[in-house]
Amino acid sequence: MKPNSVKDILLAEDDPKDVELTLAALQKHNIVNRVIVVGDGAAALDYLYREGEFAHRSTGDPPLVLLDLKMPKLDGLEVLRRIKSDAKLKTIPIVILTSSREERDIVESYRLGVNAYVVKPVRFQDFVEAVSHLAVFWALINEPPPESAGVQAQ
Amino acid sequence: MAHVCRKPDRAGRFATSAKMQVKPRWDLDFWIGSLVAVLMLFLIGGTFYRSTVSFQDAVAQRRHCLAVIIALERVLDVAQDAESSARGYALTGSELYLAPYETAVGDSYSPMDRLRELLRDSHGQEAQLDSLQSLMEQRIALSQTQVNLRRASGLAAVAQQIATGEDLQVTRKIRAIVASMESDELLFLAEIDRTVTSRQRAIRAMTYASLGFACLIMVSASVVILRAKKRREMAEESLRRASGRLQAVLQQMPAGVVLAEPPSGKMVFSNAAMGRIFRHPFQAIGSIEENRGYLMFHPGGQLPQPPEDTGLLQPLESALSRTLLWGEVITAEELHITRGDGTQGIVSTSATPVRDLEGNIVAAVTVLEDITDRRMMEMEIRQLNETLRRKASSLDAANRELEAFSYSVSHDLRAPLRHLSGFLELLAEHIVGSLDAKGRHYLDTLLDSARQMGLLIDDLLAFSRSGRVETRMTKVAMADSVEQVRQELAQDLGARNVVWTIEPLPEVTGDPALLKQVLANLLGNAIKYTRIREEAAIEVGCREEGAEWVFFVRDNGVGFDMRYASKLFGVFQRLHSSNEFEGTGVGLATVQRIIGRHGGRVWAAGVLDQGATFYFSLPKWVSEEEGRHGREPGESIATQEEQPS
């Protein structure tokens, strides 16, 4: 295991059922990372900037952020826009995990610089497969950007 | 003459351009001819003058010659008179004889002076003249000696003196000189006579020549005048013909035409359309005043009232008056009139002055056009456009609503479904050991229903999207698209035996992604419904029919009953149960919508248990505009309903 592989994946998802299913899917494949779950876009940004309830969390960026599109307060696209326009955060891999197959959502996400866009499959087996593939690829296989390129500067 | 040849020029404005081109050459000919004639006249006159002058000179010279001869004779007479009278007196002593002598002596200097005067300028005669002079003096002196001798010494002394012969000698010498001089003059005279004769001949010849030339000029002038006359007649004739044609054209015109002349404002022409436009007999107007008072020329048929305070009359004058008075050019001025039958109309008035070469206004032309219908139609079109715009905007709003609805379906409807499916799976895993066969069946049915609903929602979204997304029209090579779809579908064929027959396909104009969707649906159906065959045969081809390409996909599958053909393309309409063939009943509806948006049609033909053929047509060329907005779904459904027969 690489040293960074133990970092927490950030999951921004407002629907507790989806959270449960996602966690169940990750559990099935024994993804070792802890998953930090936030219920809205604002909380996701708090986590990344270590503000609010996450002011005292340990340093380091998540190896992967899974973003739902439809969320209270700030929606997924807005969170994505803020992350990708922040020089310190923009290197964090972001995957949109959503029910929407709408072309305008897909186009806008890629325009904002998303790293991947995944439509949640209806069938549970497919869903489990998709989520586990994502986690395995981004958290284990993919080499994340060095810490120096990230938020550590502060 | 100049006037004659100018006439066609003025008319030339109406004549053809070919005649205009002839004119300068005709002028040049005329001026060259005139110049030659004048030069000839000068030449003839000059020659005549010179001949006459030289003839007169010759006559004067002749007179001079004769005068010299006469003078010479007179000199001789004097000499002879002196000699004979002196001799007579000597012989008789009678004073009677002395009278002629006295006369001769008294005159003796006179003939000689005359001679000298006449010969003043003729050199070479001086010597002879001098000798004649001295001889004449000798002669007089001798006669005087004889008279004196007779008177003093008597007859004998005189006879002695005469006998010396001196007397005879002198006279002979005189006679000789006179004869010599006379012969000179006669020679000269003969020469002068020759000159006179030749001059006379020349003058006679010249007279004939002049006469001939005068005749020539007369004939040429007549020819020129006749030709000019004929030309003018032809010009007048063509002018008459052109004028006749113009008259016919003007009378046939749907627009009203009026021509008036300044300064009176008298109308010189108006066509039949005037009466038709005003819907009452149009009367010729005799003056500006009448024109000003003509109700039809004014808005609403109201007489113009000069605005108070200002003395301005100009805006109240009719178009014709303004053109006549001020040369104003009026273009399409709108006039609301009350017609003769009391109805309201709108007339477009244009007027322009006609000017002569000096720029003076010689006439004014007014053209009136009844544009009531056009204005009405424009208004109607504007109203229709407004209605259409309102409808379009409400349609836009409906579309936006539909889009929002689809979006929320996509998100909100799928989420609970996913949860249902997910938790069912989890439940199944959790209790799998404690379930009996019945419980397992219930769980499977639940899972299958959830999956089916997921498919329905996905297909419905795809169908909805096919109507909403903008089409991006480009060239699409249908052969390539078919091959791509075929390969994608072939991956799921497994051990099935499918024989593909794909004919050469054309390039069309369309949205590549949407057309691929059409092919995927049609070929997918063909594969699905041939599942029961050991050897499936699927054929794709295209025919050119007028301005369309007609594509077809034919299979040897289960086919369908043509009675139900109209149900094929409806949303959620199926001819088979899900047990027989899985499906949601949205695929063909999507095909129809996409083809409809490309301006084409879809239809199908089939025989139960033998196979089906699905057709779709595409226009050979689809404009950007048409492609982007597509067609209303209702339209293509209507087209489709006509097809199965």
CA proximity to B616, closest of B630, B596, B638, B641: B596
For residues A102 and B191, which has the higher predicted lDDT (pLDDT)?
Answer: B191
Digit-coded pLDDT (tens) for A71-95: 888 889 999 999 999 988 888 999 9
Q: How far is CA A107 from the centre of its chain?
A: 19
DSSP secondary structure letter of residue B497: E
pLDDT at res. B140: 84
Do residues A18 and A118 make contact, with C-beta atoms less than 8 angstroms apart? no
Q: Hey, which residues 462-521 in chain B have their CB within 8 Å of chain A? A: 465, 469
pLDDT at res. B301: 58
pLDDT per 10-residue tile (average), chain B, 645 residues: 40 40 64 86 86 87 88 86 84 81 68 82 78 86 86 84 84 89 88 87 86 87 88 92 88 87 82 85 72 65 54 58 83 83 86 89 88 90 93 86 72 80 86 84 86 80 75 89 91 87 92 91 92 91 91 92 83 76 83 90 90 92 50 38 36
Nearest-angstrom CA–CA distance, B56 and B76: 30
User: Quick check: B418 and A122 CB within 8 A?
Assistant: yes
Q: Is B449 on the interface with A (CB under 8 A)?
A: no
Chain B residues whose CB is inside 8 A of the A14 CB are: none
Residues 6+ apart with CB under 8 A from B77: B104, B111
CB neighbour class for A114 (10 Å; exposed up to 12, middle 13-18, buried from 19): buried
Q: What's the gap in Å between the CA of A132 and the closest CA on chain B?
A: 15
Q: Is A132 on the interface with B (CB under 8 A)?
A: no
Strands B497-502 and A65-67: unpaired
**A2 pLDDT exceeds 70?**
no
Return the residue in A98, A101, A124, A132 with the most chain B beta carbons within 10 A, the one to mutate for interface testing: A124
pLDDT at res. A47: 92
Please provide the size of chain A in residues: 154
For residues A28 and B610, which has the higher predicted lDDT (pLDDT)?
Answer: B610
A142, HSE (Cβ side, Cα atoms, 13 Å): 19
Residues 6+ apart with CB under 8 A from B426: A21, A24, A124
Task: Give me the sign of the Cα torsion angle A104, A109, A115, A120.
Answer: negative
Task: Give me the sign of the Cα torsion angle B192, B197, B198, B203.
Answer: positive
Residue B258, classed as helix, strand or coil, is: strand
Residue B365, classed as helix, strand or coil, is: strand
Q: Is B417 on the interface with A (CB under 8 A)?
A: yes
User: Quick check: B450 and A122 CB within 8 A?
Assistant: yes
Write the CA distances from B248 to B241, B353, B367, integer angstroms.
11, 22, 16
Q: What's the gap in Å between the CA of B431 and the closest CA on chain A?
A: 16
Q: Is B424 on the interface with A (CB under 8 A)?
A: yes
Locate B612 and state its tokens.
């089906």
Q: Across the A/B interface, how many CB contacts are shorter than 8 Å?
A: 57
Chain B residues whose CB is inside 8 A of the A103 CB are: 465, 469
User: Quick check: A124 and B451 CB within 8 A?
Assistant: no
**A12 pLDDT exceeds 80?**
yes
pLDDT at res. B85: 84
Locate B523 and state its tokens.
């070929």
pLDDT at res. B305: 57
Chain A residues whose CB is inside 8 A of the B410 CB are: 99-102
Q: What's the gap in Å between the CA of B404 and the closest CA on chain A?
A: 11
**A4 pLDDT exceeds 80?**
no
Q: Is B272 on the interface with A (CB under 8 A)?
A: no
User: Quick check: B461 and A123 CB within 8 A?
Assistant: no
Q: What's the gap in Å between the CA of A145 and the closest CA on chain B?
A: 33
User: Quick check: A17 and B461 CB within 8 A?
Assistant: no
User: Quick check: A122 and B451 CB within 8 A?
Assistant: yes
Amino acid identity of B307?
Answer: P
Residue A99 is nearest to which of B415, B425, B469, comparing CB atoms? B415
pLDDT at res. B506: 92
Q: Is A21 on the interface with B (CB under 8 A)?
A: yes
Residue A103 is nearest to which of B414, B423, B469, comparing CB atoms? B469
User: Quick check: A122 and B419 CB within 8 A?
Assistant: no
For residues A38 and B404, which has the higher predicted lDDT (pLDDT)?
Answer: A38
Please name every residue paired with B68 in a beta bridge, in sequence order, or none if there are none.
none
Task: Find the residue in B nearest to A17 (Cα).
Answer: B419
